[in-house]
Structure 1
C-alpha cells in the first residue's frame, strides 16, 4: 500500500488527469500537394488535409513553375492522404510560405511517395528514380541533392528485415524541427537539381511546446565538458524515435504532435535482447516531465536486461551520418513490480564507448514507480573516413558492478536528433553498393543498405555522384541485391552472434577475459598496436594459449574497426589467416581474442631486434604464404575482400613459422562487377605501405593490397624500415629506393647483410621483378595475387635448384647487371 499525505494526493490526482490531456498545437497545417480539394484523413481523423492548388501558401505563378500529378498505379496499402497526388517542380526554385500564429519551434514534416506518376502532357510517365532536389527552410539546408527513391529503397529493405509488412515502394517522411522567429513565417523551398525535377506529396507543420526540445538546461555532453546548445539558432532532424520493447505507436496515439514511435527490435544488438515488460496503471506525469513529453504507451512498456544481465550489455546500434552532433533523449519509467525504492536497481549507461552515467537510478530521479523522467545527452560522431559517411552510434547499458544484487538495467523510449552545423542538417544520399554493412539489416529490396526511422529513412550514407541515367543500373543492382536478400534474410544488425558464420567465433564475457589476463596485468602484455595492447592469456582451464587485443581509449581506431574485424574473420578460415576465437563487448569494452602466434610479427625478425636472423628460404616461404592468403581474400567472387592494411607487423608467425595475415579492421568487401572493382573511401593505412593511386583517387582496390605487399617484399629483402628519415632523400622511401635499385641492377647493394651468400642470382632477379611489378604506379599494371604467388614459387624453385647444384650463392653487382641487360 502507498502512504501519502493530502498535498501528495492532489499531486497524484492531477498527474492522473493530465495523461488524457493532449497538447493543443497552436499551428496545425496539413497540405495535400497536387490536390485541389480538402479532405479528412481516414486513419488520422483529426487531420484535415488542404489541397495546395488554390492555397494561400503557394506563389501566384504556381501553374507555370509546377504541375500536379497522380500515381500511375498506387499501392493499395498506401494511405490516400497525402499520397494520392503530388506536385512537381520544374527547373526553378519553388517556395511555400506558411504564416504561423506565433514564434517558436515547429515540426516540419515532408511526405514523399516515390513511384511512377502520370505525366498529363507527355506519353511517358514521370519516374521519381530520376528525381534529385534540395530543400531549405528559413535559412537552413534540410536536404541536398536528395533522392526520395533511394530513401524509400532503404526503408523497404530495413523494415523487411525487421519483419514489418510495408509496400514494395514505401512512403518516406522526413521530420525537422525549425524555430520560427519573430517574422512568424515558415518558408519551405524546393530546388530541383540540374536536369531533374523536384516533387512533394504532403507538408505538415505542427507547433511544439517551447521547452520540449529547445532551451533545455539539462544537457550532458559526451566526452567533453561543453558543446552546442539547442536554441532558436539550431535546426534539428529526427533520426530515431523508438518505443522500447513493444509495438509501434501511431501518430494518432501521440500527445498531440503527431509523432510516430517505431519498434526498437531492429536496432537491438546481438542475441541479448533482454525482457519486455508492460505496465497497466496510469503514468503519473510531473511538471518536469509533462504529459506531452511522450505517450503513456512509451512509459508503460520497456526493454530490460533481466536474467541476461550477467552475460551481456543491453545494446542498441544506431547508424547515423558522421560529422554532426546528436541529441539522445532517453526515456525512463520504472514499471517492474519488484523494484520499489532507491538503490533497488542501478546501472551504467554508455554512449559510443564512453560512460555517461555511472549510477543511473530511476528512483533517485523520480518519486517512484510509474513516474516518468528523461535524460538528454549530446555526442559528436566523427568523420573517421575524412568525409561524411555512415557510422554506428552505440547506446549500451549494464548493471552497476557495485550493485550486483539488482543486476538489471532498462529503457522505455529513445529519441535521436541530428543538430544543424553551419545551418545545415543535410547529409549525402545513400550509396548504391554491393557491400552489406554488418551494422544494419543486409537484406535489401532494391540493393542498398541503410537504417530507417519512425519518419521514413532518416539515415543516409556516404556521398554519391548522381547520374540522371542511373535507373537502368539500379535494375541490375536490384537483382543482385535480391540474391543477397534471399541468402541473408535472417540477419538484422551487425552482430557476430547473429551471423550463421559466427558459430566459429564466440562471444566471451569480460569475466573470462579478465581471468585469462590476470585482470589485464601488464606483465601479460606482448605487444601494442593501433588498436591497443595485446596480452598473452590462457583460457579453457589453461589448456589454450590466446592473444587478447584490447581497445585503448586513446586509440584512433574504434567501433568501425572492431565491427569489421569480427565481421570479416568470423566468416573466413584459411591457413594463411589468423583465427578469431571470440570477442567481448561487455561494459563498453571492445576486446578481440585470437589464436596465439608463438613467433610474433614478421617485422620482429627483420630489423631492430635481438632475435636471430631468418634464412632467405624461410623468408621466401613466408612471402609465399602471405601471397596465398591475399589471393584467397581477393578470389572469392561473392565476397572478395580488400585487406587494406598489409604490412610486416600485420603478418604473424605461428610455432611452425606459418605466416598468417591479421588485423582486418580496415578491410572492405569488394564487388566483382567489372564496372566497380573499387571501394570509395577516405585514405587509411600505414605510411610507407599505402598505394599512391589510392591516395590520388580515394578508391581502394585489390591492387592496393598488391602495392602494399610489394613494399613488404622489399622490406623482407632489405631488412630496414619502409620509411627511414635518417637516410639520404632518395633512400628514405624503401619502395621508391628498391624500384630504383632494381632498374639499375644494384639490388645486391641494398639487401640485408645477414643474407650474404644465401641468395641465388636467378632467385634474386625474379624476386626483384615481382616486387617491382607490385609497386607499379598504375594499379592496372600490377599483377594479380594469383600471378604473384606462382612468380614467388618460381623464385623459390630457382633458389632450390641453385642450391642443389652449387649451394647457396649471392650475385655480385656485375652478375645482377647482366640479368637486367
Structure 2
C-alpha cells in the first residue's frame, strides 16, 4: 500500500494535470474585414482569418458598405492581416454570428490611417452587440492618442452575453455626417462562469461586505490586462482565448518601481479553483515586489494608477502566485491591498490562500466609481506590507480590470483625451490595527533619507478694499511679506474655496513637495528660463493643479512672479486661468494654478500628434480667449494689458474652454481718461509684439489686440508666428498674411486640414477681422469687445453659411503668385521674397539663424533690436513663459 502522503501527492498531481489543459473554444471566428477572397489570410501568429466579402456573417445590404479599402501605408508595428484592409460603412450595417449560448469575447481591430477612399482618422460611429451599446460616437484615432506609447493600431475587447439567443448581432452605426469602419472582428467563446459571479460565489464591493452578483446578462469591457513584472504577452493561445497581457511598467507610480523576480523553470500547479485557462503560466512566473529593504518598504506603497471613466462598476481581478524560494510558509509575506484609498484586503497572504508555492490564486473586487462630471478619473491600486510578517514586502503577478455595463446595458464612454502625465497621489498614509485605508506616501527617504523641513512664515498685512466687478467678485490683495507681496487676507485658509472672498491660499513647501513627489521630473509639464511647471495633486488627491516653480539659481522672473501673484489673486473669470495659491517658504517662489487638461492652444495647431481641430472648435476657442482679454481691458476698474498674448499662453481645459494665462509681463493700463498709453520698455514675444508699441514704447490695449490678431492667423494657418530661414516676406506670419490678403489669396495659406470645413463667408469675415487687428497703427485696430462681436458673427456665418469647399490649392494667377513661393510650413532659402510697404515688421523678422518657436522674449530701451539682442533674450525668457511645447 502506498503511503498516505504519496497518495495525496499523486492525487494533487492528477488534479493539476487535468486543469493544466488549455481551453478549447466552442466558437472561434476571425473576420478580416474588407479583404479580397483570393488573398492568403493568415496572420503572423499563425491564425487563419476569413474575409467578410460576400460573407454569411454580413446580413445587411452589401451596398451600404464599400467593397474594399486598403491602407495607404503600413506601420512597422502593424501586421498585414487584419490591419491593411478595412470595411467602411456609410449607413447602419449588421453582422450576425451564430454562436453557442454563453459569454463571448468580441474584439474589434482598428488601424485609423488614410485608406483608398476614406480617412480612418475622421471616422466617428457607434457599435451595439445584442442590445448592449459598446461604443458611442467612437473615434479610433482619438482612442489611440490616449494610449501609452501611442501605438499605431488598437484592439477593443468586450465580453458580450449570448444566453437568450444563440446569435451575436453586431451593428455599426455611423455618427451624423461621418462613417464607420473596422479592420477585423474576432469572436471567441470562454469557459462558463469565468468572470460571471452568481449569488453563491458573489464578490463584494471594495471596503464593504455587501455582496455583488454579476448576472449572466452582464457585458464587460476589458480596460486593462497586465502581466505584472513581465513583458507584454500578445495573443497567447495556451489559455485558448488569445488574450493579450501588457507590460505594467507604464502604470507604476513614482520612484518605487519595486523589483521583478522571476523563475522560468517553475511548474505552475493549477487547481480546480484556479484552472489553467485563468491566466497563462508565464503570468504567474513573473511578479513585481518591493525589494529587500524593509525600512524603505514600510514607508512607501507599491502603487499603480489607471485612468477610468466615472459612473461604472469595475471588476478588478488580482492574480497571485508565490514562486520565490524564500517565501514558503503562510505568514512570511503579509500585506494590505488598497483600491482608491479604500481597504480591499487586510493581511493578504498568498500562501495561506493558495496552500503552497507555485499554486496560483486570484482575488476579485468590485469598485463603484462615482460620476462627478469628469469623464476620466484615476483608479489607484496600492500594496503595503504588514509589520509582523517575516518579509516586509508585497507581491502581484497579474491584473485585470473590466468595466461592467450600466443598468441600461451601456458600456459606452466619451472619447478619451490625449495621453498625459500621471497625476501624483495624495502622499498621506492611513494605517491602523483595523486596516484603515493606506494612501500613497513616498518620502525623500527613498533617495537620501528623511530630512527636516522648517517653516518660515513672516507676514505683514495691511488692508485694501474689496470690490466686485461684472462676471466676478474681486478681492484686492492685502499688503506684503518681507520680500514679495502676499495676496492673503483674513479669509485665506489652508483649503481652497470657490467663494470670491477666499481667492488665495498659502502653501507650505512641505505641501508642494508632497503634491509633486519632491518635484519628481516625471511630473514636469512645462519649462522655461524661470524653471519648471509640474503637474500635482492637492487636498488628498482630489484636486489636480499646475505648479510653477522659480529655479533658485535663476535671476529671472522675480518681478514677473510678483506681478502674476498680485494680478491673478484678484481676478476670476471663466476665460482666465485661476490662481489657487502660492508658496514662499525657504526662499521658494511657487505659484499654484488650476490644471488645464488639454494644454496650450499651440499644442493643437502644429508640430503635434494631437488630431487637427475642426474649424468650429477653433472659432469657439478664439471667442473664449477674446472674452478673457475683453474682461481684462474693460471688465475691471483699471484696465490690465496682458503684453504677452500668444498661442502658448492660451490654455484649454478638458471641455475645450479657452483661458488666458501667464500674467508675468502684464501692466495696469492708464489710470485716468486723459491718458492714452503707458510708457514702458518693450517686452513680449518675437512675432507677436505690436510694431507701434516697439517704435514708440507706448503700451496700449491695442497692443494686445495686435498680438491676438497674430494668434487668429496662427489658428487659421496652423503655422508659427515666426519661421527663420524662409524668404523675407514669409518669416513673419503677420506680414505674410497681409501680403496674401492684399493679393486676394488668403485661401493659399489656410491650414490644409480645414479644406471643406470653412464657409467662404466665414473665412472672409474672419480674415478681415484678423487683418484689422494687425493694422500698423493702433487707432485703426478694433477694441476687444468689437473683436468678440466679430468672431461671434463669423461663428454664426459658419453655422448657417454655404459650406462649399474652399479651394486650398490655388487656381487663379493671384493665388499662384502667392503659393508658388516657399511654403510657410517648410523652411526655404533666405531671400527672394516680394517687398511690401510694411517695413516696420522687419524689426521682428529674422533672416537666417534660429528663434525659439515658442517665442523669445524681447526687450528694448529706445534702440533697434540686433541679432545679438535676440540671441540674448532667447536665453532670458521671462518667468511667465512655458517653453515646452507639450504645455500643461
Q: Same fold (TM over 0.5)?
A: yes
Structure 1 pair 197–590 and aligned structure 2 pair: CA distance change class (3 A): closer
Residue 403 of structure 2 is matched in structure 1 by 418
Counterpart of 2:250 in 1: which secondary structure? helix
Contact 1:333 / 1:369 at 8 angstroms: preserved in 2? yes
Are 1:769 and 2:638 counterparts? yes
How well do the aligned residues superpose, as a CA RMSD in angstroms? 5.2
Partner of residue 628 from structure 1, selected from 547, 564, 588? 564
Are the counterparts in 2 of residues 773 and 782 from structure 1 also a CA contact under 8 Å? no
Paired position in structure 1 for 2:383: 397
8 Å Cα contact 1:706-1:784 kept in structure 2:
no
Given that 2:203 and 2:211 are in contact with CA atoms closer than 8 Å, whether structure 1 keeps it comes out as: no
- Verify: 1:183 aligned to 2:165, yes or no: yes
Corresponding position of 1:151: 143
Specify whether residues 792 and 575 from structure 1 end up closer, same or farther in structure 2 by C-alpha distance, changes over 3 A only.
farther
Change (3 A) 1:336 1:644: farther
Q: Structure 1 276/675 Cα, relative in aligned 2: closer, same or farther at 3 Å?
A: closer
What is the match of residue 261 of structure 1?
245
Q: 1:324 aligns with which of 277, 287, 312?
A: 312
Match in the other structure for 1:439: 422
Change (3 A) 1:29 1:563: farther
CA shift for structure 1 position 583: 10
**Aligned counterparts, 1:199-348, within 5 A:** 199-215=181-197, 217-226=201-210, 229-279=213-263, 280-308=265-293, 310-311=295-296, 312-348=300-336
Give the match's secondary structure for 1:14: helix
Match of 1:94 in 2: 93
Structure 1: any 5+ residue segments left out of the alignment? 119-124, 161-165, 441-492, 497-504, 518-525, 532-544, 552-558, 596-621, 634-640, 678-695, 711-734, 740-767, 796-821
Question: Which residue number corresponds to residue 495 of structure 2?
Answer: 529
1:646 aligns with 2:579: yes
**1:357 aligns to what SS in structure 2?**
strand
Distance apart, 1:672 and its partner CA:
4.8
Partner SS for 2:149: helix
Output the TM-score relative to the length of structure 1: 0.58
Report the counterpart of residue 106 of structure 1 in structure 2.
104
Structure 1 residues 38 and 376, CA, compared in 2 at 3 Å: closer, same or farther? Answer: farther
Distance 1:136 1:148 in 2: 16
Q: CA deviation at 1:87?
A: 1.4
What do the CA deviations read for 1:774-810 (whole angstroms, capped 9, x no partner)? 9xxxx99999835754459999xxxxxxxxxxxxxxx
Q: Is the 8 A contact 2:579 2:593 kept in 1?
A: no
| Paired position in structure 2 for 1:49 | 49
Kept in 2, the 8 Å contact 1:108–1:175? The answer is yes
Question: Is 1:173 aligned to residue 118 of structure 2?
Answer: no
Q: Once the 2 structures are TM-superposed, how far is the Cα of residue 381 of structure 1 from its aligned partner?
A: 2.9
Contact in 1 for aligned 2:576/2:660 (Cα 8 Å): no
The 3 A distance-change label for structure 1 pair 234 and 260 is same
Relative to structure 1, the CA distance from residue 699 to residue 110 in structure 2 (aligned partners, 3 Å threshold; closer, same or farther) is farther
Partner of 1:129: 121
Pairing 1:673–2:602 present: yes
C-alpha spacing 1:22/1:653, structure 2 compared with 1 (3 Å)? closer
In 2, the alpha carbon distance for the partners of 1:379 and 1:14 equals 37
Using the TM superposition, give the Cα deviation of residue 291 of structure 1 relative to its aligned residue in structure 2, in angstroms: 1.1
C-alpha contact 2:60 2:94 (8 A) present in aligned 1: no
Measure, in 1, the Cα distance between the counterparts of 2:13 and 2:658.
Answer: 76
Instruction: Give the direction of change, closer, same or farther, for the CA distance of 1:701–1:363 in structure 2 (3 Å limit).
Output: farther
* CA-to-aligned-CA distance 1:548-601 (integer Å, 9 cap, x gap): 4499xxxxxxx9x87899789977899999999999999x99999x99xxxxxx
Task: Return the alpha-carbon distance in structure 1 between the equivalents of residues 536 and 416 of structure 2.
Answer: 32
Partners of 1:225 and 1:574 lie apart in 2 by 51
TM-superposed CA distance for 1:417, in Å, is 0.8
Deviation at 1:313, TM superposition (A): 1.8
| 1:269–1:316 Cα contact (<8 Å) kept | yes
CA gap of 1:139–1:584, structure 2 versus 1, over 3 A, is closer
Label 1:287 to 1:89 Cα distance change in 2 as closer, same or farther (>3 A). same
Q: Which runs of 5+ in 2 are unaligned?
A: 428-441, 455-491, 498-506, 549-557, 607-619, 644-656, 674-888
Contact 2:640 2:667 in 1 (8 A): no
Partners in 2 of 1:772 and 1:426 — Cα distance? 45
Matches for 1:238-637 after TM superposition, within 5 Å: 238-279=222-263, 280-308=265-293, 310-311=295-296, 312-384=300-372, 386-388=373-375, 390-403=376-389, 405-421=390-406, 422-431=408-417, 437-439=420-422, 507=444, 528-530=494-496, 548-549=510-511, 626-629=562-565
- Distance in 2 (alpha carbons) for counterparts of 1:329 and 1:70: 39
Partner residue of 1:197 out of 179, 198, 209? 179
Q: Secondary structure at 1:342's aligned position in 2? A: coil
CA distance in 2, matches of 1:706, 1:565: 36
In the alignment, is the contact (CA less than 8 A) between 2:43 and 2:49 conserved in 1?
no
Instruction: State the alpha-carbon separation in 1 of the partners of residues 391 and 402 from structure 2.
Output: 32
* Cα distance, 1:196 vs structure 2: 2.0
For residues 668-722 of structure 1, the C-alpha deviation after alignment (integer angstroms, 9 at most, x for no partner) is: 6741539889xxxxxxxxxxxxxxxxxx999986987997x99xxxxxxxxxxxx
Q: What is the rounded CA distance, in whole Å, between the counterparts of 1:364 and 1:315 in structure 2?
A: 23
- In structure 2, the CA distance between the partners of 1:347 and 1:568, relative to structure 1 (3 Å rule), is closer
